[in-house]
Each structure stands twice: as C-alpha cells, then as structure tokens.
C-alpha cells in the first residue's frame, strides 16, 4: 500500500542531517557581494569551490536559491526565504556565544535592550539600574533607534526586548504592552518662548515655523501629520527630520523659529540646561503610549520578565505622580 510522503518532513530531515552553519554564512556572503569571484576572495577559496559549495546548498534545500542576472547573482523567492531565516539563525548563534562568554566571565547573563530616545529618563534609569545592580551583574547591550527599527531588531533576533512607542505595524511573534502615557508639548528655543507664545494656539501660524519632525513613514510622523490635517492645515515641510535629541537640541539652540513636539516629561528633563522650553499650550491629544516589547518566545524568559516587571512598576508610579 503506498504511503503519503510529507515534503516538509523530508526537507527538515535533509536540513538536520546535512546543513552546516558555514553554508549559511556562504549564502549571506553571496547575497552581500552578488558575484562568486568576490565571495571567493573574501572566503579565500577558488571560484570553482564556491560554485560547488553553492550547488551543494541548493541540493540540500532542493531549491534554486540564486539566479544569474545582469546585476549579478540575485536571490530567488526561495533564496529570499532561506536568507531571512539564515540571518535569524546566525544572529541567535551569535547571541548564544555572547551569553556564554558573559557567564564564563562571572556575569549573570546578557540582555540586549532597545530604547527610543524619547523614553523618559526615569524609565531608562530604572531599566539599567535593575540590570546592572544585580549580583552577579548582568552584561547589558543597549541600542537606540526608532520604534520601527527596534521592532525590526527584535524580529531579526538582534534584541531581546525594547522600550519605545506603541507599534502599529505587523510583526510576527511581537508582544507589546503599553506601560506609560506621555503628554505632548510644543518645544522651542528658550529665548523664543515669549515671542512664539503670543496669542492662542494657532496651527496655521505654527505650520509656518521651522519644524523638526521624525523621519517619514514612522508612527510618530504619521501621528503629527494627522494632527495638522485634523486642524485643517497642510502638514509642514520640516527643516530637519530626526529622532536624535542631540540634533534637536543643537537646532533649537541656534534656530530662533525652530519648533518640535516632544513628551512634556522629556522636555522637563532638558529644560534644566536652559536651551529649550515648552510653549504654554495644552494639546488635547496624547502621544502613542510608551510600551514594552519582546517576542512571544522570550516573554517568559527570566530576565526579560524581571525587567518588564521592574519597568512597569516604575511607570505606574510615574503615572500616579503625573495624575
């Protein structure tokens, strides 16, 4: 009696029994250089050896992974899929080596934390103190970026968790929890506050100023554009597009008509330096909430869960104080 074969099971068996990690590195090198000659030079092998190695990998996956074109070797749809997962597998392996190295050095483990620049200083301090004041001390890696960049880092297995704005995109396996609500305010150079705060809040007038806004196609830029449209005003063409607090501070200090929107508690931290200040207007909407991110598979991880609990506790205390 004939049996039903499962192609997926056969492919999995081939991968488990035949695939080697160096073959995944080879695929990444081909994708990076797009010519076998450059790959051969990087890996210090002959071009025929690289050609043979690629054929072996394609035989293991039972799929053609690259096509020769006028632009060099270009991944096929199967190649794109394999490269996507190869990157994740190798990233996980690199993360494992870092954790093992930190344990050998007497650390309590290693955690990779992503942060947006507009995370309140109190939350940032709480996160780092929680991780670094442990016995044995944790090894910690932090990376700053936009929420979109941090989510991409999580999905690529380059981060374990992150604190940023709520994410409105689609990311498989992402878990996010809103932990803190921030009030927005308009921020300008301290020396310009008196001049720019004359009269009632007028979005048409404000739109004529020199705006500093987040980059296009980010959640915060979409939020700000919606505010202008809701006020019946064309969103301004920004003078500067950035999420860098340092860049904002420099421009606000030197440009008398520069203006941006930031969280009021972030502005309060920076006002003490005396370079910028909030305009005395209350905005009748809230910023997307500060959220804690991780992946479903890491949600119950001891250190991720511990950090999440510590950050949430501090955020709740901050919210009660603000309220």
Cα distances (angstroms) measured from residue 322 to each of 93, 263, 265: 43, 13, 9
What lies within 8 Å, CB to CB, of 155 at 6+ separation is 171, 172, 173, 174, 295
What lies within 8 Å, CB to CB, of 78 at 6+ separation is 61, 63, 64, 65
pLDDT of residue 10: 80
286 falls in which pLDDT band (50, 70, 90)?
confident
Which comes out higher in pLDDT, residue 258 or 106?
A: 258
3 falls in which pLDDT band (50, 70, 90)?
low
- Rounded CA separation 99/298 (Å): 15
84-93, 181-190, 296-305: which range is least confident on average? 84-93
Which comes out higher in pLDDT, residue 205 or 217?
A: 205
pLDDT of residue 84: 84
| Total domains, the chain | 3
Question: To which residue do tokens 């050998």 refer?
Answer: 104
In a domain, 98, yes or no: no
Q: Pick from 29, 52, 86: which residue ends a domain?
A: 86
Residues 28/94, Cβ–Cβ less than 8 Å = no
Q: Do 146 and 82 have their domain in common?
A: no
- Rounded CA separation 174/164 (Å): 13
- Domain range holding 81? 7-86
% of the chain residues with pLDDT over 70: 95
Burial environment of residue 22 by CB neighbours within 10 A (0 to 12, 13 to 18, 19 or more): exposed
156 falls in which pLDDT band (50, 70, 90)?
confident
Q: Do 168 and 205 have their domain in common?
A: no
107 falls in which pLDDT band (50, 70, 90)?
low
In a domain, 95, yes or no: no
pLDDT of residue 273: 67
In a domain, 312, yes or no: yes
Q: Where are the beta strands (DSSP E) in the chain?
A: 66-69, 72-75, 110-115, 139-144, 161-165, 174-180, 184-189, 210-213, 240-241, 258-263, 276-278, 290-295
Q: Do 193 and 264 have their domain in common?
A: yes
């Amino acid at each position: 009696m004939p049996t039903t074969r499962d192609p997926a099971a056969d492919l999995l068996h081939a991968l488990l029994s035949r695939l080697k990690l160096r073959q995944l590195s080879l695929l990444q090198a081909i994708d990076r250089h797009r010519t076998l000659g450059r790959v051969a030079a990087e890996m210090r092998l002959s071009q025929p050896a690289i050609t043979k190695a690629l054929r072996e990998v394609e035989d293991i996956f039972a799929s053609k992974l690259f096509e020769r074109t006028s632009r060099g070797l270009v991944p096929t749809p199967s190649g794109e899929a394999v490269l996507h997962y190869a990157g994740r597998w190798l990233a996980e392996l690199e993360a494992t080596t870092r954790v093992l190295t930190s344990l050998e050095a007497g650390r309590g483990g290693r955690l990779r934390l992503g942060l947006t620049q507009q995370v309140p200083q109190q939350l940032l301090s709480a996160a780092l103190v929680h991780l670094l004041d442990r016995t044995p001390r944790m090894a910690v890696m932090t990376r700053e970026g936009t929420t979109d960049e941090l989510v991409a880092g999580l999905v690529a297995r380059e981060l374990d968790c992150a604190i940023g704005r709520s994410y409105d995109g689609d990311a498989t396996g992402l878990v996010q929890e809103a932990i803190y609500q921030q009030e927005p305010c308009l921020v300008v150079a301290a020396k310009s506050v008196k001049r720019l705060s004359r009269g009632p809040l007028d979005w048409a007038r404000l739109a004529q100023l020199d705006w500093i806004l987040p980059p296009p196609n980010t959640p915060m830029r979409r939020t700000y554009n919606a505010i202008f449209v809701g006020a019946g005003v064309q969103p301004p063409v920004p003078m500067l597009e950035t999420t860098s607090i340092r860049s904002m501070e420099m421009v606000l200090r030197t440009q008398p008509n520069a203006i941006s929107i930031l969280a009021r508690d972030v502005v309060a931290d920076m006002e003490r330096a005396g370079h910028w200040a909030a305009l005395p207007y209350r905005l009748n909407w809230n910023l997307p909430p500060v959220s804690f991110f991780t992946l479903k598979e890491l949600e119950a991880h001891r250190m991720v869960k511990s950090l999440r609990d510590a950050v949430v506790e501090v955020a709740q205390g901050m919210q009660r104080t603000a309220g």
